[in-house]
Homo-oligomer: A and B are copies of this chain.
Amino acid sequence: MLRWQPPLDDVAFLLGPWLRAGDDWKRIPRFATLDSDTAEAVLAEAGRFCAEVLAPLNAVGDVQGCRLVDGRVRTPDGFAQAYRRYVADGWPALARDPAWGGQGLPALLELAFTEMQAGANHAWTMYPGLLAGAVACLQAHASPDVQARFLPPLVGGEWLATMCLTEPQAGSDLSLLRTRAVPAADGSVRVTGAKVFISGGSQDLTPNIVHLVLARLPDAPPGTRGISLFVVPDVLEDGSRNGVFVDGLEHKMGLHGSATTALRFEGAVGWRVGEAHRGLPAMFVMMNAARLHAAMQGVAHAARASELAHAYAHQRRQMRAEPRMEPEQPADPIAAHPPIRHLLRCLRGWSEQMRAAGYWLGHLIDLHEHAPDADERRRAGMLVELLTPVAKAHFTECGHLLANRALQAFGGYGYVREYGIEQVVRDSRIAMIYEGSNEIQALDLLQRKLLADDGARLAVFCGECERVAAAAEAAGQSGPAAALRRLRRRLWSAFERVRAAAASDVSAPARVADSFLRATGQVLLAYACVRTVAVAGGSAGADAVERRERASWMLGELRLEFNAQLARLRATL
């Protein structure tokens, strides 16, 4: 199987000319000492960890899967050692707050690292995947006492965290939650209920697991306004096991190395995080982080599929192409045949531009949290709010569908284990479902991020598109600039049509939400393309010219997809 390699060329291009992240870091006290070279070096090291430690366990984990032994999860061979190395090397603390022992590096770097991990071994990544979100949630909402007890081991990664939302009857609809929390005399609570699809609900990587659990207090009103958040450790301070039991291990289509557990809480000791009945907003801190992680998993799957397909298509020879690519051989590489050539261009183009857009989102998070100027922080925050559901849904869908298309290039070899592509297809499928299904993201985008603020966030994004179009024009790239302007205008018109329809028909947004999200996703990627064209426009270097050509070509593909989504939107409005 083709060795996984970190995308260091893209890292350099994106941190450097594309984002000019170093220029922004200089303006931000927390990052003032960080320059692009150092950041690149950190990510090169992160890439080495993924390539040397995680990637070799990917197929192993898929074949072995997890097992339940005496009620506890046994992870695949090597997973626990890899995690110990991850902790020893200090990776969990990368972007955590120095006040809690973190290294204080940008969220951008962590997101770039997330993509690498998911590309190398998505299943393994599920274990530490919720650490960042759990820490952010506790920092924002927990009492000093709870923070002091749980944050240090979580920041360092000595313990891991889970997110316990879903119950058998309550998936997308959290208002149906039934798990109960009964206050005890000492200020703690006793949690009782059943949670399903809990990633890493049990594992053999860490001595303790911190469960963040949504449950109802006795006086809770019904619905989502009666849900509180609690922290429930697997092991109590005195070393005894808490009342948290593994009821089962799911048999999944993919991610076999990740333990997806059904947990039963039976009078488990816990502590409230944040206000009573206000658990959902607190949990959303964690959810939003998880959504961006899922988006980067989509990027990772597309990128991995692209690499696998490129390697195979250049090595596999079948039939003659016009013109011949290797006349001295009995047949040409399938990469020379038009349908495969087109597929490879799509795989490369989407991976590159989704990665660019993902990095941009990561950088916007840093600007939102740390930019010195309040207006800059506000605008960055609006973009993050708008684009998080877009990236989560669109990138995970593209990641899976592209991997599935890539499989086709392998013929029969795609359907078997050998080249690893079918595992990418299976592993990538879950990202369209978890952390809020893609349909939920689409509703979130249209109702909470667009209709709720009458398009203010979308207007900020359209302004960014105009800015990048102007930059492309200044670099002599008026064609791509005009294409982006046209797309963003048509997106805005579509929003106005939906808004008008919603005024008289309450079900209109739900009918068109999926199409609208995809159309927005295509404009986001068009933005990334044109920004690439603008940045590479001035340069005559071979790498820049190729990037520009790929991005220009992809704009045409995006326009086709955008047209199809808009036609569907009009037909269903």
Q: Which residues of A contact B (CB under 8 A)?
A: 166, 169-173, 175-176, 196-197, 250-254, 260, 317-319, 321-322, 330-331, 337-340, 342, 404, 407-408, 411-417, 422, 425-426, 429-430, 432-434, 437-439, 442, 506-507, 510-511, 513-514, 556, 560, 563-564, 567-568, 571-572
Contacts and interface: CB of A to CB of B under 8 A. Distances in A.
Given A172-B411, A252-B417, 10 more contacts: A172-B318, A172-B319, A175-B330, A176-B331, A321-B507, A322-B507, A339-B513, A342-B511, A411-B437, A560-B567
A417 B564 CA distance: 34
Contacts of A563: 564, 567
Q: Which of A318, A513, A563, A567 neighbours the largest number of chain B CB atoms within 10 Å of its CB?
A: A318
B411 A253 contact: no
B318 A438 contact: no
Q: Which 4 A-B pairs have the closest CB atoms?
A: A173-B318, A564-B564, A253-B422, A338-B510
A483 B251 CA distance: 46
Contacts of A438: 408
B408 A439 contact: yes
A412 B426 contact: no
B322 A506 contact: yes
A429 B412 contact: no
B342 A572 contact: yes
Contacts of A172: 318-319, 411
A343 to B, nearest CB: 9
Contacts of A321: 507
Nearest to A511: B338
A322 B507 CA distance: 6
A18 B507 CA distance: 36
Contact of A567 (B196, B422, B564, B568): B564
Given A173-B319, A337-B510, A568-B560, A197 B412 contact: yes
A464 to B, nearest CB: 27
Contacts of A439: 339-340, 408
27 contacts: A171-B412, A175-B319, A175-B331, A176-B318, A176-B330, A196-B412, A251-B416, A252-B417, A252-B422, A253-B425, A253-B426, A254-B415, A321-B507, A322-B507, A322-B510, A338-B510, A339-B510, A342-B572, A408-B433, A408-B437, A411-B433, A412-B434, A414-B433, A415-B429, A422-B429, A426-B426, A563-B567
A415 B252 contact: yes
Given A339-B439, A437-B408, A567-B560, A250 B426 contact: no
Nearest to A508: B338
Nearest to A407: B429
A454 B457 CA distance: 54
A566 to B, nearest CB: 11
Given A339-B439, A510-B337, A567-B560, A433 B415 contact: yes
A99 to B, nearest CB: 36
A572 to B, nearest CB: 7
Contacts of A250: 415-417
Nearest to A223: B330
Contacts of A411: 171-172, 433, 437
Contacts of A331: 173, 175-176
